[in-house]
Amino acid sequence: MIAIMPASNYDKTPFISIDGDVIAGWDAVCVHLVQQIKVSGSLKTVIVFELYPGTNYREIIDGIRGLHPVLVVDSADCMFPPEKIEEMTAGDVTNDEVFGFITRLQMEDFFDPSAMMLAKSQVEAVREGIVVIIGQGAMLVAGRSDVLVYADMARWEIQKRMKRGSVHGLGVADLGLPFSKLYKRGYFVDWRVCDRYKKKMFPLISYVLDTTQAGKPKMIGADLMFRALEKAASQPFRVVPYFDPGPWGGQWMKEVCGLDTALLNYAWCFDCVPEENSLLLNISGCIVEIPAINLVFCESNALLGAQVEERFGQEFPIRFDFLDTMDGGNLSLQVHPDTRYIRDQFGMPYTQDESYYLLDTGEDASVYLGLKTGIDPAEMIKELNEAQNGGALFNAGHFVNRFPASKHDHFLIPAGTVHCSGANAMVLEISATPYIFTFKMWDWNRMGLDGKPRPINIGHASKVIRWERDTDWVHDELINQVELVAKGEGWREERTGLHHLEFIETRRHWFSVKVLHQTHGSVNVLNLVEGDEAVVESPGNRFAPFVVHYAETFIIPASVMEYTISPCGLSEGKEIATIKAYVRL
């Protein structure tokens, strides 16, 4: 059963505050752009609207009617036909139900040179008035612009729109396809192409347009966004968490995170996945939403640290998320590929090593981890396949270790280790970021939320399982590898992992007084795993005090260098705890 918790103080809408101007509403957007044109005194003005996938073309084209353009060019009309693009991307999208290959394509590869020449000649023929060029890759069609407006969108919002059937892939006619296929194309092709292109556009952007809330656009100057990102990279911050139900989902987050109790369950909370999360900017009291990945792209050195940036490029390598099975069910039995396999098969440079930190547990909580000593690998794969094909249910307990789990236990899960959380556990998953490369082997004979079986990947899994990771090895190497590192009056620091095969280090601090931390050249990601409130402060007053609450994940950029954390509010004078992750250098 779930313990009775106090009223939630978990902040679901954290933001970065900055002063500036926001142009809100389509009428105001059009008036502002027209005024800028009048100031310039030009007879002819080319305004480019670059649209990230997922933005609503129809809403935007209707919204900018107030510009009264003499010519509108849709960049989609300059792309190759959908069938050619589908053929061009087939090797990356693949026929696999879940997995593709990270594309090497660039935005330029999607455009027909002859169609672009025709469009450019039409633009050049205009002598007076406003010309609008709009869509993905619009700047390629324009060649030049007087004003470049970038309509951006976070991937989580895109996924919600995919589920509603209102998003199609880059240059293809795939409306009506199931979410899984839309997501796969987005992950392996569209987002990769558009992110590479977006980084090229950053120096050219005049304005950033937020259309996350339908019918309520907000536009800011690009310089204001860059200033906000620079500020975020110099202080503690949080990205916007998002929550999703699942077939095994639980009830814990409803209470602790203050969620809608009418929904069936919540399985996941993604509260540190900058590739998909949003970043909220509170600009003089008006909230503007941008993708958190923009921070990684624009401030990677300050955010990640020079050595981490050198190793991972403009990717955020650490992920924190919640897996809630309290009063729920087991996760799927699964395994993650090693680095060699994920690179060769899918084009990813590193893999999803991970760990389970138990925020809370209920009765009979457990974690399945590693293989029982002496099992026959061929027999296990045979029985998995038979169960998947309608035969006898797979007897997981015969092949896989099941260990009891208690609050604050830490289970380490290097790639290749068979694992899953059992029911009645609240897991803080600390992992590397390639987050879709999970090979499910057994889903406990249940359906997904759509009433259909979830994809099973026994073929992939059988090629990456480390069969030698048996009962003794797991017990000795992966469970509660707690080591006291340092202590003082009112505090102690413990190393809890991760395994030496993984690149992430974790440290747990128990403290009732102010504790000094160093970033040591790497971005730090933390969660308040015990206690109601804590405050993060700068010894040199380089940033304002930053308050965090129980179960909130927060990020400390490498550039901060040093910071303190101390109990505050309801936790003042009490012993509380954080878990911290950083990249081993």
Residue 128 neighbours by CB under 8 Å, 6+ apart: 43, 44, 70
Closest CA to 381 of 471, 446, 441: 441
Fold category of 16-232 in CATH:
Rossmann fold (3.40.50)
Q: Residue holding tokens 């696999």?
A: 96
- The residues with which 487 forms a beta bridge, in sequence order, are 492
CA distance linking residue 124 with residue 130, whole number of Å = 12
Question: Which DSSP string corresponds to 323-380?
Answer: EE-TTS-PPPEEE---HHHHHHHH--SS---EEEEEEEE-TT-EEEEEE-TT--HHHH
> Which of 411, 417, 400, 317 is CA-nearest to residue 359?
411
Hey, what amino acid is at 200?
K
Q: What's the CA gap between 186 and 190, in Å, rounded?
A: 5
Q: How far is CA 233 from CA 228, 230, 287, 384, 584, in A?
A: 9, 5, 19, 47, 20
Domain boundaries along the sequence of the chain: 16-232, 242-477, 483-583
pLDDT of residue 4: 40
Q: Which of 351, 349, 350, 397 is nearest to 372 (CA)?
A: 397
- Given 2.60.120.10, 3.30.2350.10, 3.90.650.10, 1.25.40.10, which CATH number is that of 483-583? 2.60.120.10
Q: Strand 16-18 relative to strand 278-283: parallel, antiparallel, unpaired?
A: parallel
Instruction: Provide the pLDDT for residue 5.
Output: 43
Q: Are 482 and 495 in contact (CB under 8 A)?
A: yes
The yes-or-no answer to whether 242-477 and 483-583 have a common fold is: yes
- Cα torsion 181, 96, 341, 387 to 10°: value is 110
d(C-alpha 275, C-alpha 296), whole Å: 9
CB 245 within 8 A of CB 264: yes
Give the 3-state secondary structure of 117-142. HHHHHHHHHCCCEEEEEEECCHHHHH
How many CB atoms are located within 10 Å of the residue 466 CB? 17
Does the domain at 242-477 match CATH 3.20.20.70? Answer given as: no
Per-residue pLDDT of the chain (585 residues; tens, 9 = 90+): 344 444 689 999 999 999 999 999 999 999 999 999 888 888 999 999 999 999 999 999 999 999 999 999 999 999 999 999 999 999 999 999 999 999 999 999 999 999 999 999 999 999 999 999 999 999 999 999 999 999 999 999 999 999 998 888 999 988 788 999 999 999 999 999 999 999 999 999 999 999 999 999 999 999 999 999 999 999 999 999 999 999 999 999 999 999 999 999 999 999 999 999 999 999 999 999 999 999 999 999 999 999 999 999 999 999 999 999 999 999 999 999 999 999 999 999 999 999 999 999 999 999 999 999 999 999 999 999 999 999 999 999 999 999 999 999 999 999 999 999 999 999 999 999 877 899 999 999 999 998 989 999 999 999 999 999 999 999 999 999 999 999 999 999 999 989 998 999 999 999 999 999 999 999 999 999 999 999 999 999 999 999 999 999 999 999 999 999 999 999 999 999 999 999 999
- Please report, as a single letter, which amino acid is at residue 118: L
Question: If you write DSSP's letter for every residue of 380-435 in order, what string do you get?
Answer: HHHHHHHHHTTSSPP-HHHHEEEEE--TT-EEEE-TT--EEE-SSEEEEEEEES-T
Alpha-carbon distance 180 to 188, whole Å?
12
pLDDT value of position 272? 95
Q: What are phi and psi of 536, to 5 degrees?
A: -100, 130
C-alpha torsion angle, residues 566, 508, 351, 371 (rounded to 10): -150
